[in-house]
């Protein structure tokens, strides 16, 4: 199988409703539109089948979880096959009774499950109570092979950790892919703080692109979710960064379907002139496995 050098990617950014059936149809519509735009890969937002339920701790919300494979992966697989695209979806996985994960699943162009990634870094912050719902991933930082190349799939909070991006790169990832759900609390974040947060979110991922000479593809949702006093305004701004951190495409705060072309061969060219891999001092990195160096 010959994998093309240029990969056209589509990033779906939209608001999610309280109705999972409606949200799934929205995802399927974006997959179809991505295929019509000539995309070979489409990335959906984090936990796109549901509202962002982690704003509160409620045992009844575990009913939103589903098995993989399961009903949603069957519908997504059909859509991937019909559109001829690779789909990176993000689901609340029910692995067993009392065992749940925040899982990205990759459907190949033939509708088969190419692989899955279970979110490794689980936040526990005000309005992001994910540790209550999700068991940390146990599949490691392992890229997923698809018909369009090897994808380093990570999820949201993972995007703040350079170690995760580096380990995916060291394992041969050709793209870094991040489904996300992140936003502001308008009750506590003023305009200056909102700007700083958004700039930091994009800036850290731009650094992953540069440090690894890999393109980065990131989705986010939009819209306001939650109850009065605990609302999150998801800031959107999904993007595609090239392997030098250049912006290939970026959305605003409204629904959008971004499309961008990525030349995979630029990674090889850049690593020849900026040989970060060659010059890593792996003999001196042992302290990275310590929590803190006292």
Q: Just list the catalytic residues.
A: 46, 119, 156
Report the DSSP beta bridge partners of residue 262: 7
SS3 label, residue 101: strand
Question: Would you call 153 exposed, middle or buried from its count of C-beta atoms within 10 A (0-12, 13-18, 19+)?
Answer: buried
The set of residues, in sequence order, having a beta carbon less than 8 Å from that of 19 and lying 6+ positions away, is none
SS3 label, residue 137: coil
Rounded to whole angstroms, how far apart are CA atoms 100 and 231? 24
Rounded to whole angstroms, how far apart are CA atoms 12 and 251? 10
Please check whether residue 241 is in contact with residue 213, taking contact to mean a CB–CB distance below 8 angstroms: no
């Amino acid at each position: 199988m010959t994998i093309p050098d240029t990969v056209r990617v589509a990033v779906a950014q939209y608001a999610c409703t309280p109705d999972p059936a409606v949200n799934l149809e929205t995802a399927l519509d974006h997959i179809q539109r991505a295929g019509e735009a000539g995309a070979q890969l489409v990335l959906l937002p984090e936990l796109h089948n549901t509202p962002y339920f982690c704003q509160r701790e409620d045992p009844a919300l575990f009913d939103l979880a589903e098995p993989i494979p399961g009903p949603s992966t069957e519908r997504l697989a059909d859509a991937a096959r019909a559109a001829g695209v690779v789909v990176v979806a993000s689901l609340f996985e029910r692995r067993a009774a009392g065992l749940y994960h925040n899982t990205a699943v990759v459907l190949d162009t033939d509708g088969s499950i190419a692989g899955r990634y279970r979110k490794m870094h689980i936040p526990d912050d005000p309005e992001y109570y994910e540790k209550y719902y999700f068991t940390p991933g146990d599949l490691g930082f392992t890229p997923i092979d698809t018909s369009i190349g090897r994808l380093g799939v990570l999820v949201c909070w993972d995007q703040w950790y350079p170690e995760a991006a580096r380990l995916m790169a060291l394992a041969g990832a050709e793209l870094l892919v991040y489904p996300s759900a992140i936003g502001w609390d308008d009750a506590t974040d003023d305009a200056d703080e909102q700007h700083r947060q958004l700039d930091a979110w994009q800036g850290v991922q731009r650094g992953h692109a540069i440090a690894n000479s890999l393109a980065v593809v990131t989705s986010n949702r939009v819209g306001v979710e939650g109850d009065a006093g605990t609302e999150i305004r998801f800031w959107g701004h999904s993007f595609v960064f090239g392997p030098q951190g250049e912006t290939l495409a970026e959305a605003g705060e409204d629904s959008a379907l971004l499309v961008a072309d990525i030349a995979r061969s630029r990674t090889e060219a850049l690593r020849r002139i900026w040989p970060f891999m060659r010059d890593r001092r792996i003999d001196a990195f042992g302290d990275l496995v310590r929590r803190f160096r006292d």
